[in-house]
Amino acid sequence: MSQQGGRPTGHEDDWWGQLYGDFTEDTGPTAAPDSLDDRFASAAGAVNQPAAAGVPGTKAPETGAAVPSPRADPDPVPGRSTFPPGLPKPPGFTVEPPPEPVPPPRPLDYVGHGPPTYAAEPTALPPADPDDLDDLVADTVLDGARYGVCTLRAVSLRGDSARYRGEPRRDSLLTARFGTGDHALILVAMATGARATPGAHRAAAEACHWIGRAVGRSQPKLAEDIRAARRGDLKSGLHRLTDRSLGKLRASAAEQGIEPEEYAATLRCLLLPADPECRTRVFFGVGPGGLFRLRDGEWQDIEPRVTDVTGDPVVGFGSLPAETPEGDRLTMDLGITTPPSPYDPAPEPPREPFRFRASVARPGDALLMCTGGLADPLRGEPELAAHLTGRWSAAEPPGLAEFLADTQVRVKGYADDRTAAAVWEA
């Protein structure tokens, strides 16, 4: 190689000619055609597409694999087949979408044979005392929480009859957590005051207050008994706490100078441990209502049954013995009524029996505790049970607003206050 404009120097420039000369062949010779048209024809053959015929600038390959001839009929539509979503699809594959989940039924205003008598929304407010505004009761109370493996929803709402007449809600609701961490204990208490009494709402609130205080002070022992499954200790202890709470309610009636039955309330409670390893759910209380379990799409009425002794007394159970221990036979009772002694205290009205149930929940269960305002239509109207089954069988529990809408689905002939607490198991 020489300077620009210089003459060649002979053999010194031979290496340049060998590298860039016209007589030098390509460094990668091949016998097969390798033009742009050849590559297009090869690709068209691989995907079963005919090469462009008659298009200017294209020609059929001279050697190599033959290109399939064009066909008169279009390619058949490939059959549907599954392929993992999110990955690139090879030719001929289509992704089948997963089946869409069946949506729950829409909220309803009422179920049954016809619309209820009263309007769906509140009409009149209860009268208020300017010197005792703490005595006012809200129309609706809504609460919820999530602890361990359970989700809680609770609501108390005024019935259609009370909303129309401007009467206060006789039902009371208390939700409370005692303790911290896995040793915490959640209490849901609900009470219903006596019908047609002026202080029914106060009696219900006081009953929830007393049982809440008793359970809160006994929380360490109760939580330990629940985790250890000491059913006998739980039943006797909760029975004692319930009797004390209702006894204070009767004492409050005596202080007000009214009869005990005029300041009485039913009481229903649910204890939920916050420990995710413990699925024991404890129900206890006094008075009518409902305890239901939704399992595998079916409602189960698990309200503890109370067996009352009825009928005439029989020998050995409630009747006098036929003779004395000394062998003397007793005289015949002539049915003469003995007048009451002025020194004997007046007999107390019969008390409601204590109800108790401790059960172990399964994943997917829904436990419902409620007062008679919801228990009665749930037992008496199959459409309401079917509607709540569809609404509460979804994978996720309903939110607070949805739970409120579900619990206030009305049924003609049932217009009392409704209080309910539902627990969904993860």
Q: For residues 126 and 16, which has the higher predicted lDDT (pLDDT)? A: 126
pLDDT of 65 higher than 50: no
| Mean pLDDT, residues 211-218 taken together | 97
Query: Is residue 357 scored above 60 in pLDDT?
Result: yes
Band of pLDDT at residue 99, cut at 50, 70 and 90: confident
Across 95-123, average pLDDT: 82
The more confident residue out of 53 and 38 is 38
Nearest to 406 by CA among 422, 425, 426: 422
pTM exceeds 0.85, yes or no: no
Cα angle 380, 386, 391 (rounded to 5 degrees) comes to 130
Q: How confident is the model at residue 106 (pLDDT cuts 50, 70, 90)?
A: confident
**Mean pLDDT, range 46-56, rounded to an integer:** 50
pLDDT mean over 327-350: 58
- pLDDT at 45 exceeding the cut of 70: no
Q: Stretch 341-350: mean pLDDT, rounded?
A: 59
344 compared with 406, residue with greater pLDDT: 406
Whether pLDDT at 61 is above 60: no
pLDDT tens readout for residues 388-405: 999 999 989 999 999 999
pLDDT digits (tens, 9 = 90+) for 309-331: 334 433 333 444 555 566 555 55
Q: Does residue 288 register a pLDDT over 60?
A: yes
**Mean per-residue pLDDT of the chain:** 81
174 pLDDT above the threshold of 70: yes
Q: What local confidence, expressed as pLDDT, does residue 30 receive? A: 56
Determine the pLDDT at residue 313.
Answer: 39
